[in-house]
Amino acid sequence: MFHNKFLQKKTINSLNAQMDCGTSSNASSRFVCPNDRQLALRAKLKTGWSIKTGSIGYQAPSTSNQPLRPEEQEAIIAVVKKAEDFDLSEQKRVGNLIQRLENMRRKVHGRDPNQCLLCGDSFGIFKSQKLMCSDCTRPVCQKCAVDPCGSKHCCSKDHWFCMICSETREIWKKSGAWFFKSIPKYILPEEPDNDKNSRKDKNIRIFKQEDNSGGEMKPKKNTEEHLRLQCQE
């Protein structure tokens, strides 16, 4: 019994000695856990999980909170500025895609079910072939339709897209809307005042023609609303 008490006291003294070694003023003699590479090597050698840093010449990292040097601050500011510039360029790129789609929607000529939605050509036996868009179910001619397969062997009347729906799908892929299920932020390119006025006059004429046509064609949706609905589907 006396021998067991002596061993317990000796073990406690050895642990206290190790703790004193860890709290020593000398940073090179601190008792710390080595890095992953050293742990992996010592695991293969079966020599324990930790060692004294002083035995391998390891310098303990300083715990003092030192301010960043000027070159470090400049490097951080440069990285942040580069990220902001990249974000701005992405917004402009997506805005150009949206603007291109809006221009295509403004140039629609077909106002009748027997006409192509985009170019306005009439359908008939000796005229353009009538195809139906798989997304918007609008009639389009063969030159204004896009084959999603991209091959002549898989062409079918049930698998055609008009140029507007095809461009919408391209925006999904190129802007990342297919992943986030929403339209990312974008910046539309600036237009001159003359183009804005002419566009307003053209839209007024188009709305008047749609009112006089008896409501045969469905009114166009806003581009952003159309993209949002397509992303939700």
Distance between CA 102 and CA 172 in Å, rounded? 15
For residue 208, what pLDDT is reported? 46
User: From CA 158, how far away is CA 56, in angstroms rounded?
Assistant: 73
* Beta-ladder partners of 145: 162
**Check whether domain 74-232 has CATH 3.30.40.10, yes or no:** yes
pLDDT of residue 108: 85
Residue found under tokens 């055609």: 160
Strand partners, 146: 161
The residue extents of the domains of the chain are 2-55, 74-232
Taking the C-alpha atoms of residue 85 and residue 88, their distance in angstroms, rounded to an integer, is 5
**174 token code pair:** 């190129």
What pLDDT is attached to residue 219?
Answer: 38
Report the predicted TM-score, pTM, of the whole model to 2 decimal places.
0.52
The token pair at 125 is 């036996």
- Reading the chain (233 residues) residue by residue, the pLDDT tens digits are 545 555 555 544 554 454 444 444 455 555 666 677 777 777 777 666 555 545 555 555 555 678 888 999 999 999 999 999 999 999 999 999 999 999 988 888 877 888 888 888 888 887 888 888 888 888 888 888 888 776 555 555 567 888 889 888 889 888 888 888 888 888 888 876 666 555 555 554 444 444 444 444 343 445 566 666 655 55
Looking at residue 79, what is its pLDDT? 94
